[in-house]
Structure 1
Amino acid sequence: MESSEEEIIMLRMCCSAASAVLIGIVVMLRQMLEDARRDYNNVPREPSQMRDLNRNVHMYRILSGDANSCLEHLRMRRGPFLNLATLMRDGGLLKDTIHVPVEEQLAMFLHIVGNKSKNRVMSTDFIRSGETVSRYFNKVLGAISCLRDRFMKQAPSETPAEVRESTLFYPFFMDCIGLVDGIHIDAMVPTKYVVRFRGRKGVTQNVLAAATPDKRFTYVMAGWEGSASDFRILKDALSLPHPHGLRVYEGKYYLCDAGYTTMPGFISPYRGVPYHLKESSSRMPNNRKELFNLRHSALRMEIEAAFCILKNRFKILSARPNYPLPSQVDIVLACTVLHNYIAIADPVDKYLNEEMGIIHEEGDIMDEDDDEVVDFSETLTQQEQVEAREEWKMKRDQIAWDMWVDYCGKYRWGDTSEVGMD
């Protein structure tokens, strides 16, 4: 019995000793942290003149470093960057402040969207506070949004040069004015909205875009939930009044993929028919539908190439940006505007297709063309909608037949017989 009591006393003594040692260690660590914090706070802050000098050196290295320095940091070359800064300054969209010139404001923004850099990284690189980086990011984002009408004009009613100058597409697609497709951009949304934004590709915003065959965006609608179908978003874009809605002209049309339907102003490929064939390969088209889908896909792929360029240049579109949803929508729109600006200012840019020629700003929509714009806000009866779609399917059939006759005359000695037609 005495032995048991002694063991309990010894155990209590050991626990007390261990507790004392632990408390001592905690006190010692706390003291060490306080000493370290005191030493850090006592470090003299770098003089403002030295900070300004280091910022200037950093900007100089970006703009005047090796050949790829500016492109890697800002996703565009030095000339277009400086021109954009001048455009912002002269247009009153951005202003030099006592401490932050327009070039630095723009550089911080482009570095973030181009390299998906974190705020704290920009704070270190530019020797700015996180609040300063965030404030100027939002200012530049708003300024670029103001350039949307200047660098993103809706497609004119004329046939694009890329169609007109190609024997594969002309005269068959002579009434085609552009391409329509959707793209999913990763999104960060509040928990209560996750279900609405979750689709086949995760939590995203579904973005509708129209582009011309030169890979230049003419219309972008962002912010739709990732669960929404492409066709539903297109119908919404068509229902909006001018200038907010997608513009379609009487008798003209956009090419779209199988996620949409053939209807007034839009022609999709034949469903259930292959259209990723290579015309130059041994697998030649067997009938008019295969040939139509092949040529349709070859032209429509230009908008997918535009999406690829957009995501390769602006890495923030491949991440889940930690910004409010309205800002995420504005970021997508700003990136498409910058894409168009670079295509105009620097057509030999690394990210653009090598075959892409100089893009001119001519071809603005004239007022008289507005009379030909199709008004999709008018409600049609179900019977009228069916009749309109059948009319456009017949238009597609005629294009396919004309294309097939021309193809057979060149490659099949005029033999128009077909295999695999229903």
Structure 2
Amino acid sequence: MDSWAIDELARPLAVAFATVVVIVAVLVEELHLPRTSRCPIPSLFRDLTRKRHMNRILRGGRDYCVSYLRMDVGPFMHLASVMHDTHLLVDTRHVSVEEQLEIFLHIVGHNTKNRTMRIEFLRSGETISMYFNNFLRAVCALRNDYVQPPNGTCHPEIETNPNWDRKGLTQNVLAIVNLDLRFTYVLAGWEGSANDFTVLRDALSQPQPKGKYYFVDAGYTTMNGFIAPYRGVRYHLKEHNGRVQVNHKELFNLRHSMLRSRVERAFAILKNRFKILTSHPFFPYKTQVLLVITCCIIHNYIAGIDPNDQILHDRNMQEEHLVLSQSRSQREQREENRQWVELRDTIAIEMWRQYSSPT
């Protein structure tokens, strides 16, 4: 056999031998390391797999990222940087803040069980649970930054829209949502068995903005600070479709319903983004309370940082909204209700006058 042929055969054998030597060297070095310092080859594979998984999500295109994380890449990376900058979360030896955020968003966005997340992220169930709860507490610490009560100024859409602006009066939807579809107040923690007045009394125990009144559902009465639509008069938007309003009560109910639809839409967006809010909860009750608050905070965060968010602009969503009621002594309630009924009449009649007068 020619010498060149022998060289050609020996070359792959030499490469194979070198590979074996490297593997043996790694194993020998592993055996000499303390047990806590060993890094087996399978863990290297898992780390590489996780890195590829993260890159696939963040670089797979906007639709892919929104579908998986329920937000776009830009807001995702910005939220991770907020966690870094505020020191609410830190990179650990094995899990970055970005992966902690990804774990949390996938669970709340798709109502994913822990056992599924173990397979998805190649992590133990204890690790998934620990970082989920760490992130839950970290986001709740940002509540005052992203969930803020209305200030004393009038919302631009109210101020410039002739349908809403009436002689300087301002208004807010009592269902804790403003016209930007952001939550301005979140009260969580009451069980479903608690009656409406108990929950309302808890909310009213906190400082309330001055000079504000709230629109409430037709199932509640007009009273101090709360204005309900006229009973026995067309209300829902579909009932007004293609018909002309014939009096001040119908006009008032139409515009009341238009504002109410904003509340319905905000809650529809929230539940569509975070499927965990529409499913049977499998977390402890205290965690469920924090989840509601956290999802509202992230909702407000996305609404503020990503005006082109896909889920935020899906107008096909419809959901029920929150309503409030109040009970007082019958004598006091009748008197206060009469005053607020008169205010409703004043607003509605003025609306009708401007609506029906020639331009």
Q: Which category of TM-score, normalised to the shorter sequence, fits these structures?
A: 0.7 to 0.9
Separation in 2, partners of 1:380, 1:262: 13
Report if the CA contact (8 A) 2:158-2:170 is conserved: no
Structure 2: which amino acid aligns with 1:388? Answer: E
1:224 match: 190
2:293 match: 333
Unaligned 5+ residue runs, structure 2? 1-39, 316-326
- TM-aligned CA deviation for residue 407 of structure 1: 1.6
Report if the CA contact (8 A) 1:256-1:268 is conserved: yes
Question: Which secondary structure state, in structure 1, belongs to the residue aligned with residue 214 of structure 2?
Answer: strand
- TM-aligned CA deviation for residue 353 of structure 1: 3.1
Separation in 2, partners of 1:312, 1:325: 22
Output one character per residue of 1:346-396: Cα deviation in whole Å (capped at 9) or x when no partner: 0110011379xxxxxxxxxxxxxxxxxxxxxxx986534432222111111
Report if the CA contact (8 A) 1:164-1:174 is conserved: no
Report if the CA contact (8 A) 1:248-1:265 is conserved: no
Structure 1: which amino acid aligns with 2:163? Answer: L
1:305 match: 265
Report if the CA contact (8 A) 1:254-1:266 is conserved: yes
Q: Indicate whether 1:404 and 2:335 are aligned.
A: no
1:387 match: 335
Unaligned 5+ residue runs, structure 1? 1-44, 182-209, 356-378, 412-422
Separation in 2, partners of 1:174, 1:339: 29
Aligned match for 2:203, one of 231, 237, 260: 237
Structure 2: which amino acid aligns with 1:155? Answer: P
- TM-aligned CA deviation for residue 150 of structure 1: 0.3
Report if the CA contact (8 A) 2:136-2:290 is conserved: yes
2:57 match: 62
Aligned match for 2:209, one of 248, 267, 291: 248
Report if the CA contact (8 A) 1:262-1:268 is conserved: yes
Structure 2: which amino acid aligns with 1:212? Answer: N
1:374 match: none
Q: Which moved more, 1:263-272 or 1:227-236?
A: 227-236
1:180 match: 174
Q: Which moved more, 1:263-272 or 1:90-99?
A: 263-272
Output one character per residue of 1:154-213: Cα deviation in whole Å (capped at 9) or x when no partner: 01122211211212112278320x2123xxxxxxxxxxxxxxxxxxxxxxxxxxxx0111
Report if the CA contact (8 A) 1:151-1:337 is conserved: yes
Q: Indicate whether 1:324 and 2:284 are aligned.
A: yes
Q: Indicate whether 1:88 and 2:83 are aligned.
A: yes
In terms of fraction of residues, the more strand-rich structure is 1
Alignment of 1:157-172 (within 5 A): 157-171=152-166
RMSD: 2.3
Question: Which secondary structure state, in structure 1, belongs to the residue aligned with residue 187 of structure 2?
Answer: strand
Separation in 2, partners of 1:308, 1:334: 16
Aligned match for 2:178, one of 187, 212, 230: 212
Q: How many pairs does the alignment contain?
A: 310
Separation in 2, partners of 1:274, 1:172: 26
Separation in 2, partners of 1:98, 1:66: 29
- TM-aligned CA deviation for residue 133 of structure 1: 0.2
Taking a change above 3 Å as real, the CA distance of residues 127 and 46 of structure 1, as seen in their structure-2 partners, is: farther
Aligned match for 2:99, one of 104, 112, 117: 104
Report if the CA contact (8 A) 2:57-2:68 is conserved: yes
Separation in 2, partners of 1:211, 1:261: 20
Report if the CA contact (8 A) 1:172-1:402 is conserved: no
Separation in 1, partners of 2:351, 2:153: 21
Structure 2: which amino acid aligns with 1:72? Answer: S
Taking a change above 3 Å as real, the CA distance of residues 47 and 282 of structure 1, as seen in their structure-2 partners, is: closer
Separation in 2, partners of 1:59, 1:338: 20
Output one character per residue of 1:20-54: Cα deviation in whole Å (capped at 9) or x when no partner: xxxxxxxxxxxxxxxxxxxxxxxxx8621111111
Question: Which secondary structure state, in structure 2, belongs to the residue aligned with residue 225 of structure 1?
Answer: coil
Report if the CA contact (8 A) 1:153-1:218 is conserved: yes
TM-score by length of 1: 0.69
2:139 match: 144
Question: Which secondary structure state, in structure 2, belongs to the residue aligned with residue 122 of structure 1?
Answer: helix
2:10 match: none
Structure 1: which amino acid aligns with 2:234? Answer: P
